[in-house]
Amino acid sequence: MFRSATFRLTLWYLVIIMIISVIFSVAIYELSTRELRASLHRQAIIYQTLPWYRSGPTGYPVQSLDQQLKTAKNRLQFNLVLLNLAILAGAGGAGYLLARRTLRPIETALDVQSRFTADASHELRTPLTAMRTEIEVALRDAKLPPDQARGLLASNLEEITKLEALSAGLLKLAQHGGNLPLEPCSAEDVAAEAVARLEKALEQRNITIDNKVKDIQVLGDQQSLVDLVAILLDNAIKYSPSKSTIELASGVRGRQGYISVRDHGKGIKASDVPHIFDRFYRADTSRNKEQVSGYGLGLSIAKQIAEAHKGSIEVRSQAGKGSTFALLLPLADSNNQSNKKARKNSA
């Protein structure tokens, strides 16, 4: 599809360039012949006043005016045709390269989109298949005992909850692609709201939070930043042993402020680290053994939100020891103002 689009775009570039080139050539031809005619006319006046000049500098008789004009016109036409052929060849090659460069980002975006659709439908199909199989087996049994029927419904409900979480994740991925209203917001408030959102999970796992996030003003959309920190915190809870502690901290690094989430959980293998921000990627440790719930969407949503803020997420992790995820964001100007105020007050 993109091959033929590239050729079609090249053809359009060629048509446009050649139309411009031909118009210029005609204009050059017209102007040059007019100029030529005028200069030959001036020569003719000299011939009339100086008859000895007619036999040219070599002694041969000079061509008649019309002949000279015709020869010059022919030479000009020939040169212009040559020039246009050269432009056609050059523009063909350059146009093709330009068309490929123009279409490549669109091709990449479409590839990403179709891979995403394929991955999403694959992930959506897994719980649906589980539900379908269970229902089919139950329907075949004409005398299904009520407790088994209840068990089936409970299992289906569980799959529906998973589907809901997955579709909510997919929706978030779609939502956070656009532009966000960025305004100064407090890192302290963001962290506090994220912790409050995960209070229940913290309680269930008996995990303590050591929150040392200070009132740094970063540039962002408060709700999106809470979503992001909540994803990092949720992972820290999921991949940490119960009764452990998760540390939240903040600071300033150059023109950026950061909020970090440090856990003492299972950590991430070095070979998995480059992939954890990919959609639907789950490290083996999350799929096996304890079967930690998730779809591998959290960190890709987090990365997308960070990028919409012109920020980034850094990871430091050691398998078996724990991980630190740091969200780096541009600092708001209000930091400088409050710093100046603080310096003034202390002076």
Nearer to ligand ADP, 25 or 260 (CB): 260
Q: What is the DSSP string of 178-192?
A: S----EEEEHHHHHH
Q: Pick one of 283, 305, 308, 327: the residue that binds ligand ADP (CB under 6 A).
A: 283
Smallest gap, in angstroms, from Cβ of residue 219 to ligand ADP? 24
Q: Which residues pair with 248 in a beta bridge?
A: 211, 261
Name the phi and psi angles at 255, rounded to 5.
-95, 10
Position 324 contacts ligand ADP (CB under 6 A)? no
Nearer to ligand ADP, 166 or 332 (CB): 166
Position 286 contacts ligand ADP (CB under 6 A)? yes
| Binding segment toward ligand ADP, per CB under 6 A, in 27-35, 78-86, 133-141, 296-304 | 296-304
Position 127 contacts ligand ADP (CB under 6 A)? no
Q: Mask of contacts with ligand ADP, 253-282, x by CB under 6 A?
A: ----------x-xxxx-------x----xx
CB neighbour burial string for 94-124, b if at least 16 within 10 angstroms, e if fewer = ebbeebbeebeeeeeeeeeeeebeebbeebb
Q: Pick one of 236, 259, 328, 331: the residue that binds ligand ADP (CB under 6 A).
A: 236
Position 131 contacts ligand ADP (CB under 6 A)? no
Smallest gap, in angstroms, from Cβ of residue 124 to ligand ADP? 15
Q: How many helices and strands in the chain, by DSSP H and E?
A: 9, 7
Say if residues 267 and 323 touch (Cβ distance below 8 Å): yes
Rounded CA-CA distance 260/258 in Å is 6
Nearer to ligand ADP, 235 or 260 (CB): 235
Smallest gap, in angstroms, from Cβ of residue 206 to ligand ADP? 17
Rounded CA-CA distance 190/21 in Å is 60
Instruction: Output the six-digit token pair for 102.
Output: 């123009």
Position 296 contacts ligand ADP (CB under 6 A)? yes
List strands edge to edge, sheet with 312-318: 208-212, 245-253, 256-262, 322-330, 312-318
| Binding segment toward ligand ADP, per CB under 6 A, in 20-28, 110-118, 181-189, 298-306 | 298-306
Rounded CA-CA distance 211/261 in Å is 9
Binding site for ligand ADP (CB under 6 A): 235-236, 239, 263, 265-268, 276, 281-283, 285-286, 294-300, 323
